[in-house]
Structure formats: structure tokens, C-alpha cells
Homo-oligomer: A and B are copies of this chain.
Amino acid sequence: MADSRFHVAGIGNAIVDVLVHADDALLARLEVSKGVMTLIDADQAERIYGLLPPAIECSGGSAANTMVGIAGLGGKAAYIGKVKDDQLGQVFGHDIRKGGVVFDTRAATDGPSTARCFVLVTPDAQRTMLTYLGACIELTPDDVDADIIANSEITYLEGYLYDPPLAKRAFLKAADAAHQAGRLVSLSLSDPFCVDRHRTAFLDLVANHVDILFANEAELCALYQAEAFDEAVRAVRGNAKVAAITRGIKGSVVITEDDVHVIAADTVAQVIDTTGAGDLYAAGFLTGFATGRDLATCAVLGGIAAGEIISHFGARPERSLADLVNEKVGPSPMHLS
């Protein structure tokens, strides 16, 4: 049975990132808001690609990045997401499987091409994203393998899944299946604009269905329409069972009904590109959580994984995360309960 049990199963939009260096003038020309994710359609994608400088392609997708991070930390991870059987779909499948993640979702054979996300990285290391969802809109509840969910300690869902209509139903099916199997459900709020689009649904999820919530400051404030971080913290406390909130250079805060843990950010020599910082924080945190570490240690592991990802271009690790953790906090047993 060892091969079919997982620390975490992730479900998300399966995306190949198209990474470019950009300046503020280009963001202005594209009329996009810095630091957030904007959805674009196929025509916009073609037009915008024509305005971008030379790029590199790197597999991405929020929950996919998180699952690769978990595998890199020595955890067992599975991923559910939809690509098309085109060249970029093959790239996505190769990279996530070779990243150590079990990925068996059937690729679409017709319909839109594999999703792409234009990631514009500015000199301040901030990333601004434009996403063409492509084949992600073809993810349906049928793609959710209930066996995988039942055999995963935690099912991790990205808020972005609420953008494609059928994927939302896949999300809900997975959350139900996890709870029916006595497992935990974790949600990332993904993006402040995404929260704006789906606030009512997300508030219900957090209050009634989510065991571990991930958000950054802006997303948490957007969820509760709070002016200040403290106000948002008061709102989430006791609402979500565990809320792990990232604050960039200020580190992270883990909030439960009884406790608030404040954890400093990991030291990073040079911040190059913050793409994937939240995704990798979740990877570290969930790996810790699924292997029985205390909440403060979970946050430290999140900080280490996030620190690796922001030190280079792209949202997939370039160094062994397991080695990094071993150097910084010592060996981590990876038992499955």
C-alpha cells in the first residue's frame, strides 16, 4: 500500500509559466495590476504574447508547485489537474512527475491548449501574472480520483480552481471525499482578485470546510474586507481552524483559536523573483503538518522552501529542499501515519 498513500494530494490549474523580465512601463502598457493574477482569453493571450520580450518556459500552477515542493522535501504527493495532450502538456507532465509527484489525470485530447501563465517579473522581484486557463476549464469531478483523496492525509485546493466553473465542482467533490475519509482539507486563497471574485463561497469554505487555510496579508484582508491586518487576523481567528498567513519579508503568522505564532522569514541572499513564494511556503508547512511537526516548525519549513524559490527565476525548486531543511533544522522523519 505504501505507493498509494500520500501526505498531500493537490488539485489545481495545470499551467506552464512563460517567464519574462518586465518593467513598470510594460505593465502600464498591458494595463495590468502589479502583483496579482489577471485572467485572459485566447485572443488576449496571443496579443499579449506578441508584446512580451523573449521568455523562458517553466512548469507552474500554484498547487502543482506546492506538490513538487512537498516531494522535494521528501514527502509523498499526488496532483490532479488538466492539461491537453500537446507539447506544453507534455512539458507539464514531465516536470511534475520527475519532480516526484504522482500525476495521472487524463490529458484532454481536444478543446483548448494547455494553460499558460505569462509571469512578468519586475526588477523589484515582484511578479504579475496573466493566465490563459486553456485546458484547465476541462477539469471535472470525474477527474477527482476518490482513492487518492481518501489515501491522502491532507487534500490541498487552490482558490484559483473557482475560476473554471467545472473545476469548482471537482474542488467540492474532493473536499467532501476527504472529510468523508476522515482526512483534512486545506485551501489557499491564491490571489486577492480571486478572493474578490469568489468571496461568499470562500467565506463559507473557510468557516465550514477548511482545516488549514493559507493566505497572504492582502488575500486575508480581501476575504474579510478588512482595512488592516490586525482586523483580518481577529476575523480569521476561530473561523479557520488553522490559518497560516504569509507576510513577505516579515515572515508568517500561524493563527489558531488558542494561539498566534509569529515566525521570521528565512534569510535569503538575494530576492530574484517572488513567483511561487506562497506555493512553496504551503509545501513546507503542509509537509511539516502531515508528518506531525508543531505549528511553529511547520511555518519554519514553509519559510525555508519559500526562501529557496524566491532566490531564483521560476516557481519550481532548483536546489534539494530536503538538503536545505536538513542543513537548517536537521533531519525530518517522513513517516505516514
Q: A86 contacts which chain B residues (CB < 8 A)?
A: 86-87
**Chain A residues bordering chain B, tally (CB within 8 A):** 26
Hey, what's the 0/1 contact readout for A92-125 against B, CB within 8 Å counting as 1?
0011101100000000000001100000000000
A54 & B94 in contact (Cβ 8 Å cutoff) = yes
B98 & A54 in contact (Cβ 8 Å cutoff) = yes
Q: A58 contacts which chain B residues (CB < 8 A)?
A: 56-57
Residue of B nearest to A46 (CB): B90
B318 & A94 in contact (Cβ 8 Å cutoff) = no
Q: A59 contacts which chain B residues (CB < 8 A)?
A: 54
Interface centre among A91, A99, A113, A314 (most CB of B within 10 A): A91
B49 & A94 in contact (Cβ 8 Å cutoff) = yes
Q: A316 contacts which chain B residues (CB < 8 A)?
A: 54
A113 & B87 in contact (Cβ 8 Å cutoff) = yes
With contact pairs A21-B318, A318-B21 given, residues A57 and B98 touching in the complex (Cβ less than 8 Å) = no
Q: How far is the CB of A68 from chain B (nearest CB, A)?
A: 7
The answer to whether A305 has its CB under 8 Å from any CB of chain B is: no
Residue of B nearest to A20 (CB): B98
**Which residues, 62 to 89 on A, are CB-close (under 8 Å) to B?**
68, 86-88
Question: Complex Cα distance A227/B21, Å?
Answer: 45
Q: A52 contacts which chain B residues (CB < 8 A)?
A: 94, 98
Q: A54 contacts which chain B residues (CB < 8 A)?
A: 59, 68, 94-96, 98-99, 316
Q: How far is the CB of A23 from chain B (nearest CB, A)?
A: 12
Contact of A98 among B53, B99, B114 (CB under 8 A): B53
The answer to whether A55 has its CB under 8 Å from any CB of chain B is: yes
Q: A113 contacts which chain B residues (CB < 8 A)?
A: 87
Q: A87 contacts which chain B residues (CB < 8 A)?
A: 86-88, 113-114
Q: A49 contacts which chain B residues (CB < 8 A)?
A: 94
Hey, what's the 0/1 contact readout for A113-145 against B, CB within 8 Å counting as 1?
110000000000000000000000000000000
Question: Complex Cα distance A51/B54, Å?
Answer: 28
Q: A50 contacts which chain B residues (CB < 8 A)?
A: 94
Question: Complex Cα distance A57/B91, Å?
Answer: 9
Q: How far is the CB of A89 from chain B (nearest CB, A)?
A: 9
Additional 5 contacts, C-beta under 8 A, given A54-B99, A55-B91, A56-B57: A21-B318, A52-B94, A54-B59, A54-B96, A54-B316
28 contacts between A and B (CB under 8 A): A21-B318, A49-B94, A50-B94, A52-B94, A52-B98, A53-B98, A54-B59, A54-B68, A54-B94, A54-B95, A54-B96, A54-B98, A54-B99, A55-B91, A55-B94, A56-B56, A56-B57, A56-B58, A56-B314, A57-B57, A57-B58, A57-B91, A86-B86, A86-B87, A87-B87, A87-B88, A87-B113, A87-B114
The 8 closest A-B pairs by CB, nearest first: A57-B57, A54-B95, A87-B87, A56-B58, A54-B98, A54-B99, A53-B98, A87-B88
